[in-house]
Amino acid sequence: MALRTHDGETARPEKGRGATINPEGRFETVRRETVDDGWSPDDASEDPPQRLRTHVTIETARSILSRNDSPDVPFTYSINPYRGCEHGCIYCFARPTHAYLELSPGIDFETRLFAKVNAAALLRRELARPGHKVESIALGANTDPYQPIEREYRITRQVLEVLEACRHPVGIVTKNALVLRDLDLLTAMAQRRLVRVFISITTLDHDIARRMEPRASSPARRLEALQALSAAGVPCGVMVAPVIPFLTDDGLERVLDAAVAAGASTAGYVLLRLPYEIKDLFKDWLAHHYPLKAGHVMSRVRQMRDGKEYDAAFGSRMRGHGMFADLLEQRFEQACRRLGLDRERRSGLDVTQFRPPSPEGQLALF
């Protein structure tokens, strides 16, 4: 199966990349298409496909705290150190944001990344404002703060250093065992009840995870990270997200069982969401990797979304509607009761210890 890149060139789906197509974003007016004009000799050997490499652009952001007004998520402010995500999860609800950059939510989203190198400085400035309201900040609400390029850029670590120095609470969601690199900071913050880490585990099936989340840590490594964090005294939870009908939904209880055995005390789940371009990306991915299941998966998605492929309404977009959505919720609740898991995902973090950062520059003279 051929893969069209954003500049019109063709490639092939390759190991380590999630999307199988690279469509233009919804705001673009030009569509590019590869056409065989018949000039290539019949006996000409096809050029070997070029390997898709990751390109990182240094971004000087103007702000770093994003405000959330949705009643579906338990936080007001979030920090995303990166735009785009190298993990390449085909279902990622953040993919459509690349359209605002005139890039594709497909392959571009996982290969053309932006690193907010001034994130820590911006955060320090935000926290120094007199009117700052202290409540837990979500780190990784959009793209993963511990995606592979964090090894080099260390922006997430710099952000955590600011939060730790100011004794500001934070919640982290990640699919990468790289979070263990910052165990020193996380342990110190946990001792003051300033941090909670959620490890996102979609499935325990290695083959499905390899195709669906190609550059995220394997399910086994995520469980190991959960165990190491818990052993170090860092409060941990598991997010089974997203739950995909006919593909991962049958493993819901197994994920929860394994997470509790590794030390998770809190759990949550989210039903598959397919807003904007993700619908076509996901359907093409299904056709490529699971053609015999594709029709069943999408039929059940529509049954859980009032006949649509996506429902954006608050209150239902995370859980769905109908008999099958209700059954999934009941299974989750029963498993949580059996395992003693907290389903409310209350932060339980301390907001009373906050110390604003020292003024910088000329303000420090006054």
In a domain, 328, yes or no: yes
**CATH number, position 70:** 3.20.20.70
In a domain, 196, yes or no: yes
In a domain, 43, yes or no: no
110, 85 in Cβ contact below 8 A? yes
Output the CA torsion sign for 346, 348, 351, 352.
positive
Q: State the average pLDDT over residues 267-271.
A: 95
72, 318 in Cβ contact below 8 A? yes
- Range from 1-15, 163-177, 205-219, 273-287 carrying the lowest mean pLDDT: 1-15
Count of the separate structural domains present in the chain: 1
Chain centroid to CA 268:
14
Entry pTM: 0.89
In a domain, 177, yes or no: yes
Residue ranges making up the domain that contains 82: 3-25+55-342
Residue among 237, 171, 173, 246 nearest 203 (CA)? 246
Query: Which has more pLDDT, 112 or 6?
Result: 112
* pLDDT one-digit tens code per residue, 298-307: 999 999 999 9
pLDDT at 31 over 90: no
Query: Which has more pLDDT, 164 or 49?
Result: 164
Mean pLDDT score of the chain:
89
* pLDDT one-digit tens code per residue, 88-129: 999 999 999 999 999 999 999 999 999 999 999 999 999 999
Helices (H), 167-318: 183-191, 206-212, 219-231, 252-262, 278-289, 294-303
Query: What is the helix (H) or strand (E) element at residue 119, kind and residue range?
Result: helix 119-127
- Of the pLDDT bands very low, low, confident and very high (cuts 50, 70, 90), residue 51 is confident
In a domain, 103, yes or no: yes
Q: Above pLDDT 70, what percent of the chain?
A: 86
Spatial distance between the Cα atoms of 52 and 49, rounded to a whole number of angstroms: 9
Residue 201 buriedness (CB in 10 A; 0-12 / 13-18 / 19+): buried
* pLDDT one-digit tens code per residue, 182-223: 999 999 999 999 999 999 999 999 999 999 999 999 999 999
Query: Which has more pLDDT, 145 or 14?
Result: 145
pLDDT at 72 over 90: no
Q: State the average pLDDT over residues 119-146.
A: 94
Cα three-residue angle 330-139-57, rounded to 5 degrees: 125
Write the DSSP symbol of residue 12: -
In a domain, 225, yes or no: yes
pLDDT at 50 over 90: no
Pairing of strands 3-4, 170-174: unpaired
In a domain, 348, yes or no: no
